[in-house]
Structure 1
Amino acid sequence: MTEQSSHRPLSALSAEELDAFAATQREAYEQVRTKGLSLDVTRGKPSAAQLDLADGMLGLPSTTKDRSGTDVRNYGGLAGLVEIREIFAELLGVDLDQIVAGNNSSLTLMREVLVDLLLFGGIDSPRPWKDEDKVTFICPVPGYDRHFGLLAELGIEMVTVPMREDGPDVEAVAALAKDDPSVKGMWLVPTYANPTGATTTQEVAAALTSMPTAAPDFKIFWDNAYAVHHLTEDETKSADVLSLASAAGNPHRAIMFASTSKISYAGAGVAFLATSVEQVTWYLDHLGMGSIGPDKVNHLRHAEFFQDADGVRAHMRKHAEIIAPKFAELDRVLTERLAGYEVATWNSPTGGYFVNLDVLPGTASRVVALAKEVGLSLTPAGASFPHGQDPKDENIRLAPTMPPLAEVTEAMEVVATCVLLAAAEKLQDQGA
């Protein structure tokens, strides 16, 4: 974010100047209302143009057999097709025997693992998690709302730590995990995090995988959803968490998840789980009670379409060509409209799907409500915190990927107007 601006901080305005500024913003807001807008930047969905990039898969696979001669239309192959596992083992930096290819949703894999841990315990658990007095997860914030919703549904308690530019606050994580055996794990989106865009460094990952924990079966749910979702030519490399965990003597601590949901088709992709070889066996043993194999036809379709890891990388550069201009436009509008007023900060991510907007504390809910009244749907304020409760009421997640570029411009103009109006109202109230 560029902070060069002729705008004066709103807090520096006199009461009369602030009243005049607020009146100007209210007038601008009412002008927006007359447009009858219907805009949506609530979720990080790929646009139709991005989905079109994978339409070559619709005529695939060209055969019904994998390279070993096995008919992919039949039962079996619980760990998934070797061909697609090889491609994503390279992309995710893991060994072939450490990775499983499933159906389309990595969130489903996360839920399966959590449920298995609750019902049966892990290979390093003294007992099933359901038999503990309570189970707690550490949640870096701002974070991914679906992670928090999954924990809430399963009755798992949540404690928060700050998400920083180099990953979660390691000291805070270590302090929570060291003495409390109920702290069984943590979430982490390590590469281009949702929504902050932060990437966990190798050093932070090493600290997380080696830190002492009171629970012998502490798990890091390493949701590498955006591992190859670069927006610039400077492609950030994910930390090698499985090797770090193994070297630290905690080989079963990290469980990695990923998918092609924002690579090929969001509703018809392939999801992946990667962890220690022993923990892969643990997962497959439980999976085998409810499945006789994933959609290997879809696996083969993807393997034929991408051919290899470089094919995926080339495909992702096409995605970046579509969405990078939207992120640039979001940044341009917010910088032009908001920089200098000192009522908002936001990141300029180099990958991933979101922009993290922090507004004047106590105004995020008001910004979202104002936007809704004039036809712009934003993610609910506080969605990036457990139970939707942002203690400062300052955080809003912006998702510019799905709308056309012109709508991104229009939506960000509305966001800026709402941010300024809400901030002016807040400062007026404080000065009253």
Structure 2
Amino acid sequence: MRRYAVMSSVSLQDFDAERIGLFHEDIKRKFDELKSKNLKLDLTRGKPSSEQLDFADELLALPGKGDFKAADGTDVRNYGGLDGIVDIRQIWADLLGVPVEQVLAGDASSLNIMFDVISWSYIFGNNDSVQPWSKEETVKWICPVPGYDRHFSITERFGFEMISVPMNEDGPDMDAVEELVKDPQVKGMWVVPVFSNPTGFTVSEDVAKRLSTMETAAPDFRVVWDNAYAVHTLTDEFPEVIDIVGLGETAGNPNRFWAFTSTSKITLAGAGVSFFMTSAENRKWYSGHAGIRGIGPNKVNQLAHARYFGDAEGVRAVMRKHAASLAPKFNKVLEILDSRLAEYGVAQWTVPAGGYFISLDVVPGTASRVAELAKEAGIALTGAGSSFPLRQDPENKNLRLAPSLPPVEELEVAMDGVATCVLLAAAEHYAN
């Protein structure tokens, strides 16, 4: 993974008044032509395409009539089994290289469990809390940026003070993090460790070790380690998965990490299986509340997934199909960004090796204008600032691109339009 820093011999910023005026006239004409096409294209969310969802059609016929017994003999149609069935837990343990005892399997969305553990910490306190977080004068939360908007929405909902730190190519800025956690009001942080949303950056072993060993003033400090894209490669290579819970245990901080992943963008986005990996003490605390909230997850669906995959290599085989579907789309976006924007020095973007997004930085101060122009042209983009807490990008420069959903033909039209909008916004900025 690398950030693609665009270096051009001639930057739009260096144009004199006459030349920028002529450029503005030309790009405005192209924008008007774009508007006349009456497009209706969507690049807002990282949704799997219909082709990708079709890969999992076989799931709909599983686990098979009259065959509802898990490996331990459990009838999956009945109540119980709060931890999920061992069949799917073992596959994910093998896939991530962690002990199966560490893995809980839940229903479709890992975001639901994230919301649960934060809300229960807020209401009751977690197993290391002196008091519920709601009793604290202030709860502060570390947010690597650009980051995942749905994460920030959870901590925003609870009124936490969200503190931004840069998300570097090897993970969160650890010098900043280590300084912030000296404050006992800092109770946690978000991390997307592999092919992060939206940059595609991956946390290094060194950063992971620093996260596991650093001293925190709050005894109940938690890292939400959302490994949503753990196996979502765009190539033939799968990333190394760090056993972050194991690192925490080795460092003497066994309860620090709440780790998550799911099958949401592997099988059926709305009907998959989520996974929660954490220490024995954390699992006991979680189960004490989860057992009141419900009687157990959808074990029929878990068995269907276990039968569909077979083993960890079966998961990787499915992900190779996804990579074959997604890679041409990402390549098309990068090709257009390079051909339309590179020579003018008005943007830089990430070149991810996996995940679902490309992070695009435009001329500072123009991201909201780019999104506005795109909307006028019938191209829906995720709102400027969405990758920052409270949707406030201090430089107003970042946009998240989601290439997965449209077919390549539509994606090409949409991205050519986005490039036109970036150039028009930059021309307006420099003309003024």
TM-score band by shorter chain is over 0.9
Q: Deviations over 1:342-399 (max 9, x none)?
A: 1100011000000000000000000000000010000000000001000000000000
Is the Cα–Cα contact under 8 Å of residues 8 and 344 in structure 2 kept in the other structure? no
Aligned residue number for residue 10 of structure 1 = 12
Indicate whether 1:191 and 2:194 are aligned.
Answer: yes
- What is the CA distance between 1:340 and its match in structure 2? 2.4
Indicate whether 1:278 and 2:281 are aligned.
Answer: yes
Indicate whether 1:169 and 2:169 are aligned.
Answer: no
Is the Cα–Cα contact under 8 Å of residues 333 and 412 in structure 1 kept in the other structure? yes
- What is the CA distance between 1:68 and its match in structure 2? 2.0
Aligned residue number for residue 40 of structure 1 = 42
Indicate whether 1:224 and 2:227 are aligned.
Answer: yes
Is the Cα–Cα contact under 8 Å of residues 245 and 254 in structure 2 kept in the other structure? yes
Indicate whether 1:235 and 2:238 are aligned.
Answer: yes
Indicate whether 1:96 and 2:73 are aligned.
Answer: no
Aligned residue number for residue 294 of structure 1 = 297
- What is the CA distance between 1:72 and its match in structure 2? 0.5
The 3 A distance-change label for structure 1 pair 2 and 170 is closer
- What is the CA distance between 1:325 and its match in structure 2? 0.4
1:305 & 1:167 partners in 2: Cα distance? 34
Amino acid at match of 2:197: N
1:238 & 1:415 partners in 2: Cα distance? 34
Indicate whether 1:131 and 2:100 are aligned.
Answer: no
Q: Is there any run of 5+ residues in structure 1 with no aligned partner, and where? A: none
- What is the CA distance between 1:176 and its match in structure 2? 0.5
2:372 & 2:236 partners in 1: Cα distance? 37
1:172 & 1:152 partners in 2: Cα distance? 21
Moved >2 Å (runs of 4+): 1-8
Indicate whether 1:409 and 2:412 are aligned.
Answer: yes
Is the Cα–Cα contact under 8 Å of residues 328 and 408 in structure 2 kept in the other structure? yes
Match of 1:387 among 385, 390, 401: 390
Indicate whether 1:266 and 2:269 are aligned.
Answer: yes
2:90 & 2:392 partners in 1: Cα distance? 41
Aligned residue number for residue 340 of structure 1 = 343
- What is the CA distance between 1:3 and its match in structure 2? 7.0
Aligned residue number for residue 118 of structure 1 = 122
Is the Cα–Cα contact under 8 Å of residues 4 and 349 in structure 2 kept in the other structure? no
- What is the CA distance between 1:122 and its match in structure 2? 1.5
Report the TM-score, using the length of structure 2 for normalisation. Answer: 0.97
Q: Is there any run of 5+ residues in structure 2 with no aligned partner, and where? A: none
Q: Deviations over 1:111-137 (max 9, x none)?
A: 010011111212111111111111111
- What is the CA distance between 1:301 and its match in structure 2? 0.3
Alignment of 1:146-165 (within 5 A): 146-165=150-169
The 3 A distance-change label for structure 1 pair 336 and 3 is farther
2:20 & 2:360 partners in 1: Cα distance? 23
3-state SS of paired residue (2:304): helix
Aligned residue number for residue 321 of structure 1 = 324
Match of 1:141 among 141, 145, 149: 145
Indicate whether 1:351 and 2:354 are aligned.
Answer: yes
What number of residue pairs does the alignment pair up?
A: 428
- What is the CA distance between 1:8 and its match in structure 2? 2.2
Is the Cα–Cα contact under 8 Å of residues 84 and 104 in structure 2 kept in the other structure? yes
Moved more, 129-138 or 190-199: 129-138
Aligned residue number for residue 52 of structure 1 = 54
Indicate whether 1:74 and 2:84 are aligned.
Answer: no
Indicate whether 1:211 and 2:202 are aligned.
Answer: no
Is the Cα–Cα contact under 8 Å of residues 219 and 253 in structure 1 kept in the other structure? yes
2:73 & 2:5 partners in 1: Cα distance? 60
